[in-house]
């Protein structure tokens, strides 16, 4: 493998991992605020740097499947809870007034926490931290395994750094257009993403393997989205639902 091919292979592999982490950070930041999401991502990056510096090549001994199992299981649990609420709201079975009251309470709680210097939303922090740490570890694994096999850790690290910078730049660019999407639609999408990623990582962590490996996500995400929309559609037509009089998904904020 030549130097260019090595950098390109590491770049592409790391782009996939970085996009997966970015998806979770964007989802959490857009729905629950950027501060805690970015703090979680930053803390994960620092932890990753500390782990990489302390362990070096022995990083390859970390049981990645066990980590995938725990992170996948938690993401799947969180994702299904989000989707459940979003479907109930979209189909009219959960009152938006309740949600507004909860939101007002959360804002009041956040202000109180801010006044006492504890403005971190631990839910957002943990989600962003886990996603970035897991994907970051995979990036480090790719760098160490490709780099040590080809005898050039530096070139492999350059490919990985370029991938992370390109994906992070893309994330900054799409942040503003995404922030104009209505809240419940966004929460619906976040639920779909967390559920899809949780399903993917959980299966891999439990020892299963997906047909097509990472490319399977391209089928899992739309499948979860289609099923959730269908479920909201059916629930809206049940007694107490929206009955099709109002749109299930808002098109304007």
Partner 1 sequence: MRRFAHFWYDFVIGDDWRIAVGVVTGLALTAFVARQGWPAWWLLPLLVVCVLAGSIAVEVRAGTQDLQSEPEHHH
Q: Is 241 in the site for partner 1 (CB under 8 A)?
A: yes
Q: How far is the CB of 77 from partner 1 (least distance, A)?
A: 5
For the bound state, the minimum distance from the C-beta of residue 247 to partner 1, rounded and expressed in Å, comes to 19
Question: Taking the CB of residue 109, how many other CB atoms lie within 10 A of it?
Answer: 11
Nearer to partner 1, 29 or 198 (CB): 198
> What is the smallest separation between the CB atom of 192 and partner 1, expressed in angstroms?
10
Judged by CB under 8 A, the residue of 169, 208, 247, 253 near partner 1 is 208
Binding status of residue 36 toward partner 1 by CB under 8 A: no
Please, what is the end-to-end C-alpha distance for the chain in angstroms? Answer: 51
Return the structure tokens found at 240: 């107490």
124 counts as binding partner 1 under rule CB under 8 A: no
CB 173 within 8 A of CB 24: no
120 lies in the binding site for partner 1 (CB under 8 A): no
Task: Figure out which of the listed residues 21, 157, 235, 248 binds partner 1, where binding follows CB under 8 A.
Answer: 235
228 binds partner 1 (CB under 8 A): yes
Q: Report CA 168 to chain centroid distance, whole Å.
A: 14
Smallest distance from partner 1 to CB 66, Å: 11
- Positions that interact with partner 1 (CB under 8 A): 69, 72-74, 76-78, 80-81, 83-85, 87-88, 93-94, 122-123, 126, 195, 198-199, 202-203, 205-211, 216, 220, 223-224, 227-228, 231, 235, 238-241
């Amino acid at each position: 493998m030549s130097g260019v091919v090595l950098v390109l292979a590491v770049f592409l592999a790391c782009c996939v991992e970085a996009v997966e982490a970015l998806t979770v950070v964007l989802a959490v930041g857009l729905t629950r605020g950027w501060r805690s999401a970015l703090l979680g991502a930053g803390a994960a990056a620092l932890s990753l740097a500390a782990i990489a510096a302390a362990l070096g090549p022995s990083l390859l001994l970390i049981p990645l499947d066990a980590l995938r199992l725990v992170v996948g299981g938690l993401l799947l649990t969180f994702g299904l809870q989000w989707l459940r609420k979003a479907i109930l709201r979209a189909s009219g079975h959960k009152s938006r007034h309740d949600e507004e009251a909860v939101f007002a309470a959360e804002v009041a709680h956040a202000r109180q926490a801010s006044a006492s210097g504890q403005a971190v939303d631990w839910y957002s922090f943990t989600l962003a931290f886990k996603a970035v740490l897991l994907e970051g570890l995979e990036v480090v694994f790719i760098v160490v395994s490709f780099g040590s096999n080809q005898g050039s850790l530096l070139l492999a690290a350059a490919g990985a750094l370029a991938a992370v910078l390109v994906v992070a730049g893309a994330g900054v660019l799409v942040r503003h257009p995404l922030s104009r999407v209505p809240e419940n639609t966004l929460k619906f999408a976040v639920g779909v993403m967390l559920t899809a990623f949780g399903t993917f990582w959980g299966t891999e962590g439990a020892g299963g393997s997906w047909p097509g490996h990472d490319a399977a996500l391209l089928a899992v995400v739309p499948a979860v989205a289609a099923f959730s929309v269908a479920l909201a559609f059916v629930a809206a037509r049940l007694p107490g639902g929206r009955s099709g009089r109002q749109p299930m998904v808002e098109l304007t904020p």
